[in-house]
Amino acid sequence: MGRFLRALGTITAVLVLAGGMANAGVLISVTQSGGDVDVTASGSLDLTGATFDHQQPYTTGIIPGGSNWYVALGSTPGMDWYQLTGVDLPYGTDPSYYTSSSTSGDAISIWGYSGGTPLVGVSTGYQSGEAISADMVISGETIAGMSLMPGTYTFTIPNDTIVLQIAGGNNVPEPSSLAMMLNGMLAVGFAGYRRMKKA
Tens-binned pLDDT, residue by residue, of the chain (199 aa): 554 444 444 444 334 334 443 457 999 999 999 999 999 999 999 999 999 999 999 999 999 999 999 999 999 999 999 999 999 999 999 999 999 999 999 999 999 999 899 999 999 999 999 999 999 999 999 999 999 999 999 999 999 999 999 998 433 444 444 444 445 544 545 444 555 555 6
Query: What is this structure's pTM?
Result: 0.75
Task: Answer yes or no: do 81 and 152 share one domain.
Answer: yes
Task: Answer yes or no: do 89 and 151 share one domain.
Answer: yes
Task: Answer yes or no: do 63 and 29 share one domain.
Answer: yes
- Cβ neighbours of 189 (radius 10 Å): 11
Task: Answer yes or no: do 156 and 196 share one domain.
Answer: no
Task: Answer yes or no: do 133 and 188 share one domain.
Answer: no
- Picking from 139, 129, 123, 114, the residue whose alpha carbon sits closest to that of residue 39 is 139
pLDDT at 24: 73
Residue 99 β-bridge partners: 61
Angle at 101 between CA 97 and CA 103, to 5 degrees: 100
Residue 152 β-bridge partners: 165
Give the residue numbers spanning the domain of 8: 1-22+174-199
Number of domains in the chain: 2
Task: Answer yes or no: do 62 and 93 share one domain.
Answer: yes
Task: Answer yes or no: do 4 and 84 share one domain.
Answer: no
Task: Answer yes or no: do 96 and 164 share one domain.
Answer: yes
- Map residue 189 onto helix, strand or coil: helix
Task: Answer yes or no: do 43 and 138 share one domain.
Answer: yes
Task: Answer yes or no: do 38 and 13 share one domain.
Answer: no
Q: Residue 87 in contact with residue 59, Cβ under 8 Å? A: no
pLDDT at 144: 97
Q: How many helices (H) and strands (E) are present in the chain, helices listed first?
A: 2, 13
Task: Answer yes or no: do 86 and 3 share one domain.
Answer: no
Task: Answer yes or no: do 143 and 112 share one domain.
Answer: yes
